[in-house]
Amino acid sequence: MRTSVFFVCAVLAALAVVPGSPRATSSTPVLVELFTSEGCSDCPPADVLLQKLIDAPPAGAEVIGLGQHVDYWDRLGWKDRFSSAALTDRQRVYADRFHNESIYTPQMVVDGRAEFVGSDAASARNAIERAVAASHGVVRIGFDAAPPNHVGVSVAVQNLAPDAGDRADVLLAVTEDKLRSDVTRGENHGRTLTHAAVVRYLATAGEAVNGAALRGDIPLSTDWRRENLKIVAFVQARRGRAILASAAAPLPR
């Protein structure tokens, strides 16, 4: 995952008609982040729950998943091939936000506003229902020409509510579905694990500005299966960490 490479973006431009990611007016996109690891025996039920929430979200919600594999389990018998120190750092930022004494897996974070043990289905559904009731802006994702092994992405942001002077960023992720691993060591020795919405790339695109658009190219690894990839774009407050808007779109074939 290329989390250390910042998204290359054009100068903010006046908002034009940007194709991509239409959604039903009756559903509100809610970003559900799962911090997980293949080395953690408590994590597989949380991976299953994330997939269930994506497939059958609470009423009024469109669940956008980010399965983020942390790296602090890697030294305990099994190295997770999807793990990233950058994602561990992201989890540490949430620990500060929620005043947690330490980081842990599995942890689920809903719209940057609530956190809990990642396998707790009741807490997940309650948090998603509360998130649906909160104010959200609109993110639109479009695709255009790009160099080989890249995808050209346009992101437009509208209707962001003011947030007491806190500035916000647009972040972009690539997620991959239908990933499996046969674990041969560690706490999950002998198990075949399946994962939901595995984060392959995550970077900051630029500052979020109402009525403005960003454009850039995201590199795609040759071992990612294009038909299982999605682009996720979301707006996150810098200090409060709330998700102010989000969207997801499959890559065009």
Residue 35 has pLDDT above 70, yes or no: yes
Q: Where are the alpha helices (DSSP H) in 8-148?
A: 44-55, 85-97, 121-133
Residue 216 confidence (pLDDT) = 87
Give the number of residues written for the chain: 253
Question: d(Cα 215, Cα 139) in Å, to the nearest integer?
Answer: 13
Q: What is the pLDDT of residues 36-82, one digit of tens each?
A: 999 999 999 999 999 999 999 999 999 999 999 999 999 999 999 99
Residue 108 has pLDDT above 90, yes or no: yes
Q: What is the pLDDT of residues 192-236, one digit of tens each?
A: 999 999 999 999 999 999 999 999 899 999 999 999 999 999 999
Question: d(Cα 18, Cα 66) in Å, to the nearest integer?
Answer: 24
* Average pLDDT of the segment spanning 24-43: 92
Reduced to 3 states (helix: H, G, I; strand: E, B; else coil), residue 36 is strand
Residue 114 has pLDDT above 90, yes or no: yes
Architecture (CATH level 2) of domain 13-250 = Sandwich (2.60)
* Average pLDDT of the segment spanning 8-33: 57
Q: Which residue has the tokens 């939901």?
A: 196
Q: What is the pLDDT of residues 139-167, one digit of tens each?
A: 999 999 999 999 999 999 999 987 667 89
Q: Which of the four pLDDT bands, split at 50, 70 and 90, describes residue 1?
A: low
Among 81, 3, 87, 75, which residue's Cα sits nearest to residue 38? 81
Q: How far apart are the first and last CA of the chain?
A: 22
Torsion-angle region of residue 217: left (phi > 0), alpha (psi -120 to 50) or beta? beta
Reduced to 3 states (helix: H, G, I; strand: E, B; else coil), residue 87 is helix
Residue 8 has pLDDT above 60, yes or no: no
Residue 6 has pLDDT above 50, yes or no: no
Q: Which of the four pLDDT bands, split at 50, 70 and 90, describes residue 112?
A: very high
Residue 16 has pLDDT above 80, yes or no: no
Those residues with Cβ within 8 angstroms of residue 101's Cβ, 6 or more apart along the chain or in another chain: 95
Q: Which of the four pLDDT bands, split at 50, 70 and 90, describes residue 17?
A: very low
CB contact at 8 A, 202 and 60: no
Burial (0-12, 13-18, 19+ Cβ within 10 Å), 101? exposed
Q: What is the pLDDT of residues 128-137, one digit of tens each?
A: 999 999 999 9
Q: Where are the alpha helices (DSSP H) in the chain?
A: 44-55, 85-97, 121-133
Residue 196 confidence (pLDDT) = 95
Spacing of C-alpha 114 from chain mean position: 15
Domain boundaries, the chain: 13-250
Among 120, 154, 145, which residue's Cα sits nearest to residue 45? 120
Among 134, 216, 136, which residue's Cα sits nearest to residue 168? 136
Residue 19 has pLDDT above 50, yes or no: no
Residue 26 confidence (pLDDT) = 78
Q: Which of the four pLDDT bands, split at 50, 70 and 90, describes residue 25?
A: low
Q: What is the pLDDT of residues 166-185, one digit of tens each?
A: 899 999 999 999 999 999 99
Q: Which two tokens stand for residue 74?
A: 């890697």
Q: Which two tokens stand for residue 192?
A: 């075949």
- For residues 6 and 226, the model is more confident at 226
- For residues 142 and 19, the model is more confident at 142
